[in-house]
Structure 1
Amino acid sequence: MADLQSPAPPFVVRAVSRTDVGMRRATNQDAVAISPHSAEGRIDGDAFLMVADGMGAHAAGELASKLATDTIPLTYFKSGGEAPPTALRRAIRQANDKIHQKGASAAEFYGMGTTCSCLVLTQGAALVGHVGDSRVYRLRDGVFEQLTFDHSLVWEMAAASKVSADRVPSCIPKNVITRSLGPHKTVIVDLEGPHALQQGDVFLLCSDGLTGVVDDSLAASLLSTLSPTDAAEALVNLANLRGGPDNISVIVAQIETATGDTASGTPAANRPKLQISSFGVGIAAVCAVACAVFFYGGNPVGALASAIGLGVALALSFVKRPASRPAVLSPLLGDALGNGPYRRTECGDHAAAAGDLRDLVSELSNLKSEEETVRPEDIPLQNGNGTPAAVMLDWSPLKERQQAADEAFDRGDYVGSITRYSEIIAQAMAAIRNDDDTHRFSAHTEVIS
């Protein structure tokens, strides 16, 4: 919990969501929610963000994720004066009840389920509610942290063995989850937080369709260098270009202060203030008198020493008072919950991410319009009749932009090159989607400023 001093400053959220069927699935069983919706694109009060990844035969998974995203935010906001952790846990359990009852109502829905990763932004803090292997991340000051624990066989085995998930034998399937909403009458809900919000925090909520193919370091660099809208689009594009084996859903949310200098990146309430030290002024006065005495007394060494002391004393007289201590978190948020963060990635100078994007753009540039250089099964696009479609691009409109991006990379402008490469990839992906005529890209955006 934060040190209790001043009330939490008002925050504003800018959030963007993207959901995509991917390259290999026929339907999209993911669902996303940003609530409340604002026609003006602004939420000054509480915000509720959520990603759900459904599972089940036929349309069962799609229905399960929709039931979760319809039920949980609405139930949470109808909780009245209930403490946020209690309201969030109750809302998730109510969704589990609905999905479980639906699964028991017909044979085609039996066993239906969904993951659920919720982020509540309220009273100057972030609270996470979580079931399954969808994830919530936070990017702050160049550090990318996973705030949720994957309820998967791999992570459970790693925790039991007290090793990292990367050290679990590769023969253990990564897509087996140990907890979800719906299959069972009761569910254990993980709560994490509350985490005090800061100006510039960026949160990422995503399904495993992203994290299965895009590593944390690359995602962190994109979130650090691009706007929420561009970052969300770039993450989905990368997941698809790396095979898109599953549905892909992301929400990117950036925290801004409602008051203060947002351009500086530091809220006005947290900036150091200039303060005059009475002790320093007193020492300066003594040094000034001594300097005058030594000077008129014909003692240049003493006068010089006193002058130096005077300068030091004056410098110490005007000090910057440290910023106010972290804002108070409401007692309604309760004590700290969970054990997160569970993983931590340093962003660094983004050179590796820029290099990855450069290689990817170079590969895309080889998909010439006059020849097919990649087998259809490598990037399994489908045309209207369900047969593999040729992957061919007219690269001529992108040649100059690729050259500019390469030049930025070569001179060490990794942020600029990431921006340029992401734009090229977005344009290339738009061309691919238009060519194969499947209209697979289903996306929507909400801007909360």
Structure 2
Amino acid sequence: MSNNSAFRDALSHAALSDIGMRRSNNQDNFTVALASDEPFWQLRGHLFVVADGMGAHAAGELASKITVDTIPSLYHKFRDLPPPQALERALQEANAEVNRKGQANPDFHNMGTTCSALALLPQGAIAAHIGDSRIYRLRGDLFEQLTFDHSLVWEMRAAAKLPEGSDLAASLPKNVITRSLGPNATVKIDLEGPFPIQVGDAFLLCSDGLSGQLTDAEIGLVVSLLSPHEAAQSLIDIANLEGGPDNITVIIAKAVSPEAASPPDVKPFASSGGKVVPQPHPGVWAVFGAVAFLSVLFALLQWYPAAGVIGLAAIGILGFALYQWFQSLEGKKEPTRQRFGRGPHARVKVEPNAEFLTKIGNLVRKLRETAREMEWSIDYTDIDENLNRSASANDQGDLAAAVTAQIRALSDLMEQARRQPDKRSSDSSIDLV
């Protein structure tokens, strides 16, 4: 196998978006921009972006589309910046573009979008984020949320004004976000990472159409048991069968071989993208001249205490100016930060459990009942085989195999349900809750 083939096969990924069960249009958008070869991965890595638009009519869809269309090109455009700062700048520029479109057309006024962008680089995973879409990492049995939700609930909890499990926490709407791209001309972007990448690590990006319907433990369990493509489709299926009130977008990227992992001897992000230390501003020299003049004047007037104090100030200003001058002559730069944010912001341990097995089993049973009532044409051969495999594994105490087979039976049944004549994804006839 060639080195390039090994590199291409090192990362397994899947990206899917679904309109959900209640919406008439999909305001989510996503993009995947994979490095074409290893040298390019060394420079800019693989890029994944999820955006969940907000706004009347088609405004939200436009905002999220502008965002996912512009971020990859902007990220690669800012080659003079290290990847973290380039990604942050790309989101800021995307915000400016969404804001300009919103200001130019009354129909799009105040349109906005969340945005979660993930770059997988040799130095690790870098996340740039705004809103309540999420980025997770699964490592072994630990499922971590790398991003902070910019939502009313999370912000109040962070300010220690919302005790977990309190009545107030339960009463607050969970879909009120405090920050997004578009409504304002400038915006603060969160940067997180880098998080080192190991073989077997899986990263998941999603809109709140998924995280609002499944718990972190459930999402992490599905990702841990299935391939990225199977897991992405299964998560969407389960979210839809749990009500599917919103659009659902899922991206999963898994490092399956060392070529996609962080090398042990990886160098930190180059500091060449750091801000060049500037030459002293002309005003510094002017202030130094004025202070030095006052010091000499006071000395001539024999106001020695004042002259001494002002003279020390002049020496300090001169020292600072000379330091900046020599630094600029040597071309030195301020060091680039190597660690961003405070993530992970949440973590759960994932393990197969009887409760989730029962939950999936109930969804299968209810969907079979719906299929019978609607007189759908369903081939149950593989579905029943997976259900029998699940029951056998459960009897043997192998919960992982039991849950996996049960999920596959559900996804097979759901795939056939989608293919029924005149079946629309927003049809409430698959309302099982």
Q: Report if TM-score (shorter chain) is over 0.5.
A: yes
Cα distance in 1, alignment partners of residues 129 and 70 from structure 2: 15
Is the contact made by 1:138 and 1:201 (CA closer than 8 Å) also made in structure 2?
A: yes
Displacement of 1:31: 0.4
Q: Which position in structure 2 is the counterpart of 1:412?
A: 397
Deviations 1:292-347 (A, max 9, x none): xxxxxxxxxxxxxxxxxxxxxxxxxxxxxxxxx77553344732111111111001
Cα distance in 1, alignment partners of residues 181 and 214 from structure 2: 25
Cα distance in 2, alignment partners of residues 25 and 436 from structure 1: 20
Is the contact made by 2:51 and 2:115 (CA closer than 8 Å) also made in structure 1?
A: yes
Mapping 1:34-45, distance limit 5 Å: 34-36=32-34, 45=42
Is the contact made by 1:365 and 1:395 (CA closer than 8 Å) also made in structure 2?
A: no
Percent identical among aligned pairs is 41
Q: Which position in structure 2 is the counterpart of 1:234?
A: 234
Is the contact made by 1:217 and 1:353 (CA closer than 8 Å) also made in structure 2?
A: no
Mapping 1:224-263, distance limit 5 Å: 224-258=224-258
Q: Which position in structure 1 is the counterpart of 2:17?
A: 19
Gaps of 5+ in 1: 1-9, 270-324, 373-389, 442-449
Please, which moves more after superposition, 359-368 or 29-38?
Answer: 359-368
The residue type paired with residue 269 of structure 2 is S
Cα distance in 1, alignment partners of residues 199 and 385 from structure 2: 37
Higher relative contact order (CA 8 A, sep 6+): 1
Mapping 1:152-167, distance limit 5 Å: 152-161=151-160, 166-167=165-166
Please, which moves more after superposition, 421-430 or 150-159?
Answer: 421-430
RMSD: 2.7
Displacement of 1:201: 0.7
TM-score (norm 1): 0.72
Whichever structure has more helix as a proportion of its residues is 2
Deviations 1:122-152 (A, max 9, x none): 2231100000000000001210000001001
Displacement of 1:349: 4.2
SS of the residue 2:256 aligns to: strand
Cα distance in 2, alignment partners of residues 368 and 18 from structure 1: 25
Q: Which position in structure 2 is the counterpart of 1:341?
A: 344
1:366 to 2:351 alignment = no
Is the contact made by 2:88 and 2:128 (CA closer than 8 Å) also made in structure 1?
A: yes
SS of the residue 1:183 aligns to: coil
Q: Which position in structure 2 is the counterpart of 1:122?
A: 121
Cα distance in 2, alignment partners of residues 142 and 133 from structure 1: 24
Q: Which position in structure 2 is the counterpart of 1:313?
A: none
Displacement of 1:424: 1.2
Is the contact made by 1:368 and 1:395 (CA closer than 8 Å) also made in structure 2?
A: no
SS of the residue 1:205 aligns to: strand
Q: Which position in structure 2 is the counterpart of 1:176?
A: 176
Cα distance in 1, alignment partners of residues 18 and 352 from structure 2: 30
Q: Which position in structure 2 is the counterpart of 1:430?
A: 415
Count of residue pairs the alignment pairs up? 351
Is the contact made by 1:123 and 1:329 (CA closer than 8 Å) also made in structure 2?
A: no
Is the contact made by 2:232 and 2:251 (CA closer than 8 Å) also made in structure 1?
A: yes
TM-score (norm 2): 0.75
Mapping 1:26-175, distance limit 5 Å: 26-36=24-34, 45=42, 46-161=45-160, 166-167=165-166, 168-175=168-175
Cα distance in 1, alignment partners of residues 118 and 164 from structure 2: 24
1:215 to 2:199 alignment = no
- Shift in CA distance, 415/329, structure 1 to aligned 2, threshold 3 Å: farther
Is the contact made by 1:196 and 1:329 (CA closer than 8 Å) also made in structure 2?
A: no
SS of the residue 2:159 aligns to: helix
Cα distance in 1, alignment partners of residues 359 and 266 from structure 2: 39
SS of the residue 1:169 aligns to: helix
SS of the residue 1:199 aligns to: coil
Cα distance in 1, alignment partners of residues 258 and 232 from structure 2: 23
Gaps of 5+ in 2: 1-6, 272-335, 427-433
SS of the residue 2:343 aligns to: coil
Cα distance in 1, alignment partners of residues 400 and 40 from structure 2: 29
- Shift in CA distance, 37/82, structure 1 to aligned 2, threshold 3 Å: closer
Displacement of 1:203: 0.3
- Shift in CA distance, 403/164, structure 1 to aligned 2, threshold 3 Å: farther
Displacement of 1:258: 4.5
- Shift in CA distance, 166/338, structure 1 to aligned 2, threshold 3 Å: farther
Is the contact made by 1:133 and 1:151 (CA closer than 8 Å) also made in structure 2?
A: yes
Cα distance in 2, alignment partners of residues 67 and 164 from structure 1: 37
Mapping 1:370-381, distance limit 5 Å: 372=373
Please, which moves more after superposition, 393-402 or 186-195?
Answer: 393-402
